[in-house]
Structure 1
Amino acid sequence: MKLHYLYLSILLSVAFAIPAQSQDLAISGSIRSAENQQPVPGVTVRVSGVSNSRVSDEDGKFAFENLAAGSYTVSFSYLGYEPQRITLALPAAGSRNLSILLTPTSSRLQAVEIIGRKEQSYKNTASFSGTKTETPIKYVPQAISYVTKEVINDQQAFKTSDVLKNISGVNVYSFYNNDFTLRGFRAGNALINGLRNPTSSWSQSLLPNVERIEVIKGPASALFANTDPGGTVNTVTKKPLDVDRKSVSFATGSYNIYRITSDFTGPMNKEKTLLYRLNLAYQNAESFRVLQGGEDMVIAPSISFIPTDRTQVNVDFVYAKTKSRLDRGQPIFGASAGTDLNSTPISFAIGKENDYANELNLYTTASLQHKFTDRISFNASYMKFLYDEDLLEHRTSNRYAINADGEEIPTMMEMQTIRRKRKNYNDNITLYFVSDFNTGPLTHKLLVGYDYIQNVSPVGGSNYNAQGYRNAANNGAIGSYNPANRDDYLIRDNIPVPNVPHFDLTNPDYSISEISGYFNVSSPQAVTRYYVNGVYLQDQISWGPLQALLAFRQEYYVDILNYKKANAEEVQQQAFIPRFGLVYTPVEPISLYVTYAQGYQPQGAGTIGDPSRFGGPFDPLTSTMYEGGAKMEFLNKMLSINAAIYHIEQNNILINANDPGNPDLLRQIGQQRSRGAELDVYGQLLPNLSVTANFAVNEAIITKSEDADEEGNVLPNAPKHQGGVWAKYTFTIPALQGIGIGAGANYVSSRATLSDILTLPSYVVADAALYYTVDRFKLSANLNNVFNKTHWVGGYDFNRLFPGTPRNFLVSVGYEF
C-alpha cells in the first residue's frame, strides 16, 4: 500500500510540474541601434500567439512572461528602423536575454509626395508645404503646424473642423468649409497636396483619406500664389505604402451616428514597383442642430508606380459626396446690447423639412518625379477639381421682421428662399526643376518653377430666389420694406406681408414649404473665369549650421469680366512677391530661425471692374510678415517643440460701406495688424505616452481706417488667448495590458463678432477617451465635451451664431489585418 502511495505521489508531482515548468518560460531582452549601440525605446514587439504587443522601455527592454513551450515568431518594428523578425522554440537557452540590433533605414527625402508616410505617431518629421520639396520641418524658416492621422484616429474625428483645435492660432469662424481665423485673419484659401482647392463647398472637408492637416503660418504667396495673410490650410491625402497595412472600423454614438471606414495599402507586385491604397468611408448622422446632419461618402483610391529609382508616379482619385442641409447658424432674440445668447437654444436653426444641400467634390491628382541625374530632378503635379452643388434653403435675410411703422420685431426673422444649381471647375498645374550643387563651402538646393491655376464657373448655373415683401396688388414682391412708401405694400394687422413667411423664433415651424407659392425670380449665375501664371525661384543654401532660404515669385493674375460674352474684358493684375528666411542650428536638436514674407491677393474683377456699383478704384490686398522662432527635438527625437513670434500687417481690406442708397458699395478700411506668439508640442514623452499641445497669444486689430472710430477694434472671431492639449497613455503593466486612456481640453478666450455690441464668451471644453487593444482588435470610446459646456465656436451677428456641440460620445471597433 505504501508503494502505491509513493507511485501516486510521483505521478502527481510530474503532472503538476509539467504545466508549472511550461508557464515559467519567457522571451525578454533589450533592443539597441546597430548604428550607435544606444537603447531604442518605443519599439513595438509582437509575439505570435500572444494577444497583446509590448513596447520597449527607456532602456530598450521588453518582456513576455508565462509562455508555454512551443515555437514563436517575434517581430520588432519602429519608425526609422528596418523591421526585424526572429523565430524561437521554447524552452531555449538565452530566451530571457535576447540582444536585438535594429538597423536605421536609409530613406531618402522625396521631391514630390509619391509614397506615404510610415510614421505612426503624433509627430511629423518632414513637410512638402514649406518649400515644395520634402524638407525636415526644423529646417523650414516658417512655422508649420499639423495634425497627423494618428491624432485624427485617436480623437475619432471625421471633418476638418474636428481637429484644427489641435493647432495653435486657429479658431473656427463658422460652420462653413475652410472658414477659419488663422493668427487673427479670416482665411478661405486652402490647398490639397500643395495644389489650389477652390473651396466652393459649404460642407466641411472629410478626413478618412487624410494623412495629415498642415497649416502654413503667415502668407505663403511666394510659393502658392494668392493666399491669406494669417496662414493656409494644406490637406495631405494618404499615399500608398510599400508594406501591407489593412484596417476596417465601425462606429456609432450620439445623434444616431453610423460610420464605417477602411484603409487598405501595400505592394501589388513582389518587386514593390506598383503600390496601392484604398480608403472608403460612409457616415449617416444627425446633429444637435435641428434638421441638420446627413450622409457623407468617401471613395479614395491611390496608385504609385515606381518603375526605376529615377522615376516615380502617383495618381489619386477622390470622390466625396455629402447630402445634408446648409446650417446658417443660430439666431437669437433682437439685435441689442445685453441680449441673452441663450434666448434661443443652441439646437435652434432656421429652415424647412424639404431643404437640402447636395454637394459633390470630385478631384484627381497626378504627380511625377524624374531624376535626370543624382543632382537634377524634374517634378510635376496636376489637380483637376470639380464642385457640384444642388441646393434648396429657407434662410433669413439677415434682418428681423418689421411692422408697418418700420419698427423691428425681435422675435420674428425676415426670410428668403434660395434654389441653386451650379458647378465649378479648377485646374492647377505646377512644374519645377530641383538642382543640388555646391559653390565652394555652400550647398544649394535650387528650385525653379512655373504654376498655372484656372477656375471656371461654366454656363448652366442658376438661382431661383424669393425674398422681400408683397406689393399692394399681391402680384409681385418688393425687395425691402420702406415705411415711407407703405401704400406700395400689402399690409395686414399693421405688418407688411412678406413674400416668404416670417420665421417665428418663439414658435418655430419646420414643416414642408412649397416654394412655388412665392414670387420667385430666376436668374442665371455669372459665367466666370480667372487664371494665374506664376514663375518662381527658390534657393535653400546651407553653410555649416546656417541655412538660408531665398525665394521670389512673379505672378500674373487675369480675371475675365463678361466671360463668354461679346463684351468680355480682361482685368489684369500682377505682383512681385519675395520671401527670405534664415535657420541657425547651434546644436543638432535645436534650430533657430527668422523669416520675412509678403502676401498678395488680387481684388475680384467683378468688384474692381464695376466702380459705379462697388466704388473704387481699389488696390489689391497685400500683407507683410516678420517671424522668428525655435524648433526643437528631444527624447531621442520622439518629441518636438516649436515656438514662434510674429508681426503681420494686411492692407487694403474691403468691407461694406453701409450706404443706404447703395447696399453694394464697398470701402477699404486701410490696415489690419496681428501680433502674437505660439507654441506647439508633438510626439512622445514616454514610449507609451503621446501628446499634442498648443498655446497662442494674439492681438489682431484694425490699425488704419478712414473711420477713426474703427481703429483699435479687434477683428471678428480672433481670440486673444487660446490653447489645448491632448494626451494618450497606454498601460504597460501586465494586469492592464492593452488598455489606454486619452484626455484633453481646449480653451478659447472671448471673441468679437461682426456686430459691435455682440461678444462671444470664453470657454473650456474637456474630452476623454478609453481604448482597449486585444490581438488585432481595437475598441475605442470617446466622450467629448465631458462637462457639457455650452459654448459658441464662432459667430457673425445676432442672426448667425455657431454653437459648439454639447456632450456626446462615439464608440468604435476596429480590426487590423
Structure 2
Amino acid sequence: MKIPILLLTLLLLCQHISYAQDNAVVRGKILDAQSGNPLEAVNVGLSNTAYGATTDAQGEFRISNVDPGNYKLVTTSVGYEKNAKEISLAAGQTLEVNFNLQTTSTQLQEVEIIGRKETSYQNEVSFVASKTATALKDVPQAVSYVTKEVIQDQQAFRTSEVVKNISGVNQFSGYDDFTLRGFRIGSNQLINGLRVSGGFWNAPLISNLERVEVIKGPASALFGNTDPGGTINRVTKKPLDEDRKSVSFSTGSFQTFRATSDFTGPMNEDESLLYRLNLAYQSSETFRDLQDKTDILVAPSLSFLPNDKTRVNFDFVYSATFGKLDRGQPIFGATAGTDLNSTPISFAIGQANDFHNEKNFYLTTSVTHELTNNISLNASYLKYGYEEDLLEHRTSNNFAVNGEGEQIPTQMEMQTIRRELKSYNDNLTTYLTLDLTTGELRHKLLAGYDFIQQTVPIGGASENARGYRNASNTGVINTYNPENRDLYLLDENGNPVPNVPHFDLVNPSYTIGNTSNYFTTSTPVAPTRYYSNGIYVQDQISWRKLQLLVGLRQEFYSDYLNYKQNAEEEVEQQALIPRFGIVYSLTPQVNAYATYVEGFQPQSAGTIGSPEIFGGPFDPLTSQMIEFGAKGGWFADRLTTNLAFYRIEQNNILVNANSAANPDLLEQRGQEVARGIELDVIGNILPNFSILGNYAFNDTEITESDNEALIGQVKENAPKHQGGFWARYTIGSGNLQGIGFALGGNFVTERTTFDAGLMLPGYTVFDAAVYYEVNKFKIAANFNNVLDKTHWVGGYSYTRLYPGAPRNFMMNVAYTF
C-alpha cells in the first residue's frame, strides 16, 4: 500500500514541477525619472489579475509563477504618476521590465475620497488637522495615528485595542471611554472629520477603518464642541483604483470566532467608478463572566470620478453588537481594606437573562469639485443613527447597609434598568479653498460653514427598580436613613429590605432575574434637540522655510430640553474660537512648530435649564493650549518622529456638590491644568522591518476649586507616565523567507479613581506574534499579555473597576487574491 502512495506523491510532485517550469517571471527596477534614485514601496501588478509585488529598497520587484499570456503591467505609488506597459509572456520566460516614474502634478483632493494605497505603518497626510490635505510634518499641532497595517498585525477589532499605540491616550474604563492628555473625552468623536455623538458602551469596530487618528488638544476652531485633551477621528477605508481582495478567518481564546473580508477595485473600464466592501463577523465570550458578544459589520463604499475636476464618495456602515453590558468588577468595600484581588478579575454582576443590544449606522457623502485651477468647492454630509435595547441587573454604585446605616463591604446594593433609546446625528460641512500667491507668500485660504445636529426623538423610555421597600411594602424609598427607620420594611435582623435583592460578593448567584417582583418606575426619555451653526476662516501661509496657520471660528449653539413638548426650553450659547500655528523648517528633515488654540464646550440645556435641580447658573467650559515641538523624517522619510511639549488649561468643570439634601446638585470646580511631553516614533526602517513607539509624561491636577482640599489633587485615570512599542521583522530570503516575528509592550503608571484612597496600580504588559506568508496566504499567531500580568486598564470606584485581559492568543489565516 505504501508503494502506490509514494508513486502518487512523486507523480503529483512532478506535475507541480512541470507546471512551475511552464510559468513565467516578471522582474525589473523602478527609478525616479528626475533623480534616478530607486523607488521603494511602489505597487506593481498585472491588471485584472491577482499577480503583484512591491519594490524593495533598491527599487526592484519580482512577480513569479505567472501563467503565459498577454498582460498590462501597472505601477502605482503616492506622489508618482500611474504607469503601464503591455507585455507578453511565454512559458518559462523571465521578462525584465523597468520604469522611470514622473512625480504627479495632480493635487490631493480636499475631501478624503480616494483610498490610501500605502501598505505600511506610516501615514504621510491628514485632513483632520486643517480640513485640507496637509503633510503631517507641516501641521503645527501633534497628530498621532494607527494605520490598518498595525491593526491587522495586532489582530485588533475595536478602537480600545489600538489606543495603546498612541502617546497620551489611556483607557478610562472598558467602554468607548478614554483619557487624552489627562482629560476624559466625552461622547464627541469624528468619523471622516465629521462630528458625531452616539453609543458609549461598546468601543466601535475597526475592520472598516483605514486608520485611527487623534488630533491632540482642543480642536474647537475646526469642529466646534470638542474636548480639551484631544479628539479621536475614525477614517474609513475608501475605494482604490486597483483590484485588491482579501478574506480572513480567526479563532482563539475566550471562544472567539471571527471572519472579515475586504474587496476593492474599479467597476468599469475607465476606472471612473470604484467600489469597496468590508464585512466582519465575530462571536466570542470574554474573560469576564456573563459577557458573550456577537458583532456584525457591513460597510460598502463607492467613489465616482467622472473627470479630473470632480470626485464623489458614498459610504454606508452598519454595525451591531448583541451581548450584555459589562459594568465592571466590584471589589470588597473600603471598610474591609482596599484589596483589588478580593474578587477575581472575571467577576461580574448580572443575571443570565440580561441583554444589551446596540445598533449603529451611518451614511456619509463627500464631494470635491475644482471650480478653477485654484478654487475648489468641498462638501460632506453625515447621517448617524444609534439604537439601544437594554435589560440589566447592576449595582447602584453603593454597598448595602445594615439597620444602623453602616456599609456591608461584601454586599452590593442593586438596581435593574430596562431602557430603549434612539438618537440621530446630522453633520453638514461645506467650504471653499483658494490657492493664491501674494508676492513671495503662498496662501491656502479656506472659508466654510458647518451645521451639526443631534436629536433624541419621542419614544425612548427607561424602567428602573432600586432603593429600599417602605414599611407597608407598597413602594420604595431610594435611600436608607437610619434616623427614620420606622419608614422602612425591616427584616428579622433589623436591616432594611431592598427592592432588588443585594448581590453577595462572597456567594454570588447567577439566575434568571424576575423583574416583575420589583417596584419599578417607568420614565420617558426626554426628547431633545441640540444643534450648532459654525462659520470659520483659515489661512495656511508659506514663505520660504516658514509656514503660518491662522484660523477663526464663530459658533452658535442651540439646545432644546423637552423638544416639541409643552415644557420646551431653549438654551443658546455662542463662542468666538481662535487658532494660531507656526512651522519652521530647521533642516530638510526636521520642522519645528508652535501653536495656540482655544476650546469651548457649552453646558447642556438639561443642566442650565433646571437650576432647581442642579443649581447654577453655570458658565460654559473653556480651554486653551500652548504646544510646541519638532517633527522629523529619517532614513529617506521611512521613519518619522514627533516630539511635543504642551500645557492645557480647562475652566468651569462641573462636579457633584455632594449635597445630602440634593444628590443631583452640581458645582463648578474651577480649573484643571495638564502639562506634558509626548514622543511618537513610527516607520519602516527596512521594507521588512517596521516599528512604532510612544511615550508620554503628563501631570494633570486641579489648580482652582472652592474646596481647597482638592487643589493639587491629580485627576482621575490620568497616569503620569505611559508608553509602548511594537516591532515587526520578516525574513526576506533563504529557506526561512516569509517568516516574521513581532514583539511589543505597553506600560501605564498608577492612577487615581473617583473614590479617595483607591489607586489603580501601574502595569507593564508584553505581546508577541509570529507570521508566515507564502504566495497569497498569510498565517499569524498573536499572543497577548504573554507574562499573564494581572492589571486594571481603568475604573471608577470600588464598585466598578475594569481589569485587562489575562494571557490570550488569536490564530489567523488570510488569503489575498
TM-score (norm 2): 0.93
**Cα offsets for 1:772-791 (capped at 9, x unmatched):** 11111111111111111100
Other-structure match for 2:567: 567
Aligned to 1:7: none
- Amino-acid identity (%): 58
User: Residue 80 and residue 431 in structure 1: after superposition, are their counterparts in 2 closer, same or farther (change >3 A)?
Assistant: closer
Tell whether 2:605 aligns with 1:594: no
Q: Which runs of 5+ in 1 are unaligned?
A: 1-17
Alignment partner of 2:756: what SS?
coil
1:396 matched to 2:380? The reply is no
Deviates more, 1:517-526 or 1:489-498: 489-498
SS in 2 for 1:191: strand
Contact 2:599 2:622 in 1 (8 A): yes
Amino acid at match of 1:115: I
Q: 2:192–2:233: 8 Å Cα contact kept in structure 1?
A: yes
Q: Secondary structure at the match of 2:164?
A: helix
**1:414-440 C-alpha deviation (Å, 9 max, x unpaired):** 000000011111111111111111112
Distance 2:528 2:503 in 1: 35
Q: Report the equivalent of 1:377.
A: 376
Q: What's the counterpart of residue 184 of structure 2? A: 186
- Could you say what secondary structure the match of 1:809 adopts? strand
Distance 1:44 1:623 in 2: 45
What is the identity, as a one-letter code, of the residue corresponding to 2:549? L
After TM superposition, give the deviation of residue 740 of structure 1 in Å.
Answer: 1.1
- The residue number in structure 2 matching 1:609 is 609
Q: 1:292 to 1:57 in 2, by over 3 A?
A: same
CA distance in 1, matches of 2:98, 2:195: 50
How many Å separate the matches in 1 of 2:287 and 2:104? 48
Q: Indicate if the aligned counterparts of 2:51 and 2:66 stay in contact, CA closer than 8 A.
A: no
Distance 2:78 2:650 in 1: 42
Which structure 2 residues correspond to residues 302-701 of structure 1 after superposition, within 5 A? 302-336=301-335, 338-492=337-491, 493-701=493-701
1:273 to partner: Cα distance: 1.1
AA in 2 matched with 1:571: V
Shift of 1:42: 4.5
Tell me which amino acid in the other structure corresponds to 1:715: K
Tell me the alpha carbon deviations over residues 648-680 of structure 1, each in whole angstroms, 9 at most, x when there is no partner. 000000000101111001111110000111111
Q: Distance in 2 between matches of 1:422 and 1:111?
A: 36
Report the 3-state secondary structure (helix = DSSP H, G, I; strand = E; otherwise coil) of the residue aligned with 2:586.
strand
The one-letter code of the counterpart of 1:130 is A
Distance 1:26 1:236 in 2: 37
Q: Show CA shifts across 1:605-662 (max 9, x none).
A: 1111211211112110000000011111122222111111100000000000101111
Shift of 1:589: 2.2
Amino acid in the other structure paired with 1:730: T
Query: Is the partner of 2:152 in helix, strand or coil?
Result: helix
Cα deviation, residue 31, structure 1: 4.3
Q: In the alignment, what sits opposite 2:195? A: 196
* Cα distance in 2 between the residues matched to 1:53 and 1:268: 20
Q: Counterparts of 2:373 and 2:489 in 1: how far apart (Å)?
A: 79
Q: Distance in 1 between matches of 2:124 and 2:628?
A: 20
TM-score, normalised via structure 1 length: 0.93
Look up the equivalent residue of 1:397 and give its one-letter code: S
SS in 2 for 1:150: helix
Tell which deviates more after alignment, 114-123 or 332-341.
Answer: 332-341
Comparing 73-82 and 523-532, the one that deviates more: 73-82
One-letter identity of the residue aligned with 1:606: G
Q: Shift in Å at residue 200 of structure 1?
A: 3.1
CA distance in structure 2 between the aligned counterparts of 1:69 and 1:418, rounded to whole angstroms: 63
What stretches of structure 2 of length at least 5 have no aligned partner? 1-16
CA RMSD of aligned residues (A): 2.6
Distance 2:249 2:255 in 1: 13
Per the TM alignment, residue 33 of structure 1 is displaced from its structure 2 partner at its CA by 2.4
Aligned AA (1:640) = T
Q: Could you tell me which residue of structure 1 aligns to residue 3 of structure 2? A: none
SS in 2 for 1:151: helix
Greater Cα shift, 239-248 or 559-568: 559-568
CA distance in 2, matches of 1:55, 1:737: 16
Deviations 1:6-36 (A, max 9, x none): xxxxxxxxxxxx99xx89x998765432231
How far off is 1:297 after superposition? 0.4
Instruction: Note closer, same or farther for the CA distance 1:449–1:59 as it changes in structure 2 (3 Å cut).
Output: same
Three-state SS of the structure 1 residue aligned to 2:616 is: coil
Residues 30-70 of structure 1 deviation map (CA, whole Å, 9 limit, x = unaligned): 5432231113345567899x9998765544456799x9998
Equivalent pair of 1:144/1:215 in contact (CA under 8 Å): yes
Aligned partner of 1:681: which letter? V
**Structure 1 residue 227 corresponds to structure 2 residue 238:** no
Inter-partner Cα distance in structure 1 for 2:161 and 2:34: 41
Distance across 2 between alignment mates of 1:72 and 1:721: 59
1:727-759 Cα deviation digits (max 9, x unpaired): 111101221111111110101111111112011
Answer whether contact 1:413 1:503 (CA < 8 A) is retained: yes
Alignment partner of 1:128 is 2:123: no
Whole-Å separation in 1 of the counterparts to 2:50 and 2:575: 61
Residue equivalent to 1:13: none
Contact 1:52 1:738 in 2 (8 A): no
SS in 2 for 1:318: strand
Tell me what 1:249 maps to: 248
CA gap of 1:769–1:83, structure 2 versus 1, over 3 A, is farther
Q: Report the CA distance between 1:566 and its aligned residue.
A: 2.5
Give the whole-Å Cα distance in 2 for the aligned partners of 1:71 and 1:132: 46
Question: Contact (CA 8 Å) 2:447, 2:537: kept in 1 or not?
Answer: yes
Q: In structure 1, the residue corresponding to 2:254 is in which secondary structure?
A: helix
C-alpha deviation, 1:271, in angstroms: 1.1
64 and 203 in structure 1: CA distance in 2 versus 1, 3 angstrom threshold: closer
AA in 1 matched with 2:684: Q
Q: Is the 8 A contact 1:84 1:102 kept in 2?
A: no
Aligned pairs, number? 795
Please show how residues 138-149 of structure 1 align to structure 2 within 5 Å: 138-149=137-148
2:628 & 2:651 partners in 1: Cα distance? 22
- Structure 2 CA distance, aligned partners of 1:378 and 1:225? 21
Distance in structure 1 (CA, Å) of the matches to 2:53 and 2:274: 29
